[in-house]
Structure 1
Amino acid sequence: MNFTVPQIAKMIDHSILRPEFTLEDVREGCAIAKKYDVASVCVRPCDVSVAVDLLRGTNVAVGTVIGFPHGDSATEIKVAETELAVHQGAKEIDMVLNIGWLRSGDIAAVEHEIGMIVKAAGTAHVKVILETAYLTDEQKLAACWAAERAGAAFVKTSTGFAPKGATIDDLALMRSAVSAKVQVKASGGVRTLDAIMAMTAVGVTRFGTSSTGEILQDLARRQVSVPGGRA
C-alpha cells in the first residue's frame, strides 16, 4: 500500500516511556510529536500534565500507560491511575492487562478489570497491552476476545520491556481475533519504515515507537525517488 508522510505520522504514538528520561527528554519528545503531527505521544503517568501543556493547541493527543510495565497493580490502583490521567487531559490509555491472571486461565477477571478501566477512561480510547512474549497463541486469542467484550478500542502487542516485541505472526493473529470495531497496535521493536509497511499489510493501524523521526525521514527520502511522491 502507498502512504504519505502525514498518513504514516497519524498512525504513530510517539513513545516517551523510558524510566531514565528527564523532563528535557519529555520536552524534546513532545517537540518531535508536534513537528510531525503524529497521532499521539505516549508518556509516563507522571508526565501527562507536562505533555498536555506542551501540546495544547495541536492535533497531537496525549496518552499514557496504566499498570506499566508488568500489569500486576491492583485493579483499584489501575482505575485510580486512569481517572487521574483522564482528569489531567489524557485522551488515550494504554493499559497492561494482568498477565498472571491470563496465564492462569482466569479470563473473567481479566475481562472485568479491562471493563473497569474502560469505564474509568470515559471517552478516552483504551488500548489493551497483551505482552505477547509471555503468552501462547490460545492466551493471545482469549485476551483479544476479552478486550473486545470489555469495550477496548485497541489490542496492543507489547510494552517494549519484555524479551520480545511485535511480530507479524502475532499481529495477524490479533487482527483475526477482533472485529472491525477494534484496532490493532504494534509496539515493541517497531523501529523502521519497512517494519511499519509490513505490519500495515496485516491490518495494523497504530504503531508505538520512539523512532518516529527516523521512520518519517526515511519515507520522505523514498518519496523523492518515487514518481507521484509516494513510497
Structure 2
Amino acid sequence: MPSIASVVDHTLLKPEATHADVAALIAEAAEVGAYSVCVSPSMLPLAVPPGLKVAVVCGFPSGKHTAQVKAFEAAESIALGADEIDMVIDIGLAKEGRFGEVQSEVAAVRSVVPAPKVLKVIIESAALTDAEIVAVSEAAVAAGADFVKTSTGFHPAGGASVEAVRLMKRTVGDRAQVKASGGIRSLAVALAMIEAGASRLGVSGTAAIVAEETGAAAPPADGAPGY
C-alpha cells in the first residue's frame, strides 16, 4: 500500500515563509514522497525534483478579490511553472446565495488554467451551512473544477471535518475530487478524511504523519499552526 504521503500536498503558506523555508519544504516533500508542494505565488518559480508537483494558492486566504484579479494571479502562476491552482472562492457570495457568481469566478480562473493543469476550489466549508456546501460544490463543478477543497486553514471557523468531506464527495460524486485541508495533524485524522471521500490532503506536518504511519520517531514540531 502506498504511503499516505503520496496523496499529500506538503504545504507552507505562512506569511513569514522565506525562500529558504520553501527549499526545505521541497527537500522534505521529496524525502517523504509527497504528491506536491503547495506554496504562495511569490515563491515561484521553483526547482523541484522530477515527479514532485507544484501547487499554488490563488485569492488566498480571504477570497475577497475580484474574479479578474484571481484569474490574473492564476495565469501568472501557471506561466511561472505551477501544475495546480488552489483558488479561494468569495465566501461572502456563498453566504448571500449568489452561487451563479461563485460559478462565474471559478470559470474565470478555469479559463486560464488549461487541462491538464489542475484547478482546486477552496470553499471554506467550516464557514458554510450544509446547503451552502452543496450549492458551492455544484457551482465549482459546473465551472470545470477538478477538485473541491474544504479549507484554507486560516479561517477562524476551522478547517476540514469528516462530515464536510463526506457531504462534498456525495455532492460531486465522480465529477470531481475532494481535497481535505486545515487541521490534519495525525494519521488517524488523515485516514478518516480519506475514508470520507478525500483523494488529496493538504498538510504542513507531513513528516510527523509519515513517521506515525511507519512507526519512526517523529521530527520535532516547529511550533507553527497546522495547515
Q: Given the two structures, how large is their TM-score scaled by the length of structure 2? A: 0.91
- For residues 109-124 of structure 1, the aligned pairs below 5 Å read 109-123=101-115, 124=117
| Equivalent-residue separation in structure 1 for 2:64 and 2:138 (angstroms) | 20
Q: What letter corresponds to residue 173 of structure 2 in structure 1?
A: S
Identity among equivalent pairs (%): 38
Q: 2:169 aligns with which of 164, 175, 180?
A: 175
Q: 1:92 aligns with which of 84, 106, 111?
A: 84
Going by fraction, where is helix more abundant, 1 or 2?
Answer: 1
CA offsets 1:63-107 (integer angstroms, 9 cap, x no match): 100000000111111010011000001010000011111111111
- For residues 46-85 of structure 1, the aligned pairs below 5 Å read 46-49=42-45, 52-53=46-47, 55=48, 57-85=49-77
Structure with bigger gyration radius: 1
| Other-structure match for 2:10 | 14
Q: CA deviation at 1:45?
A: 0.6
Q: Given the two structures, how large is their TM-score scaled by the length of structure 1? A: 0.90
| Other-structure match for 1:4 | 2
| Other-structure match for 2:208 | 214
Q: Report if aligned partners of 1:48, 1:63 keep a CA contact under 8 Å in 2.
A: no
Gaps of 5+ in 2: 217-227
Gaps of 5+ in 1: 223-231
Q: Which moved more, 1:88-97 or 1:36-45?
A: 36-45
Q: CA deviation at 1:181?
A: 2.8
1:188 lines up with 2:186 in the alignment: no
Q: What letter corresponds to residue 35 of structure 2 in structure 1?
A: A
Q: CA deviation at 1:202?
A: 1.2
Q: State the 4+ residue runs in structure 1 displaced beyond 3 angstroms.
A: none
Q: Report the aligned-residue RMSD.
A: 1.1
Q: Secondary structure at the match of 1:128?
A: strand
Q: CA deviation at 1:146?
A: 0.5
Q: Secondary structure at the match of 1:41?
A: strand
1:200 lines up with 2:198 in the alignment: no
Q: What letter corresponds to residue 62 of structure 1 in structure 2?
A: V
Q: 1:30 aligns with which of 26, 30, 49?
A: 26
1:127 lines up with 2:120 in the alignment: yes
Q: What letter corresponds to residue 172 of structure 2 in structure 1?
A: V
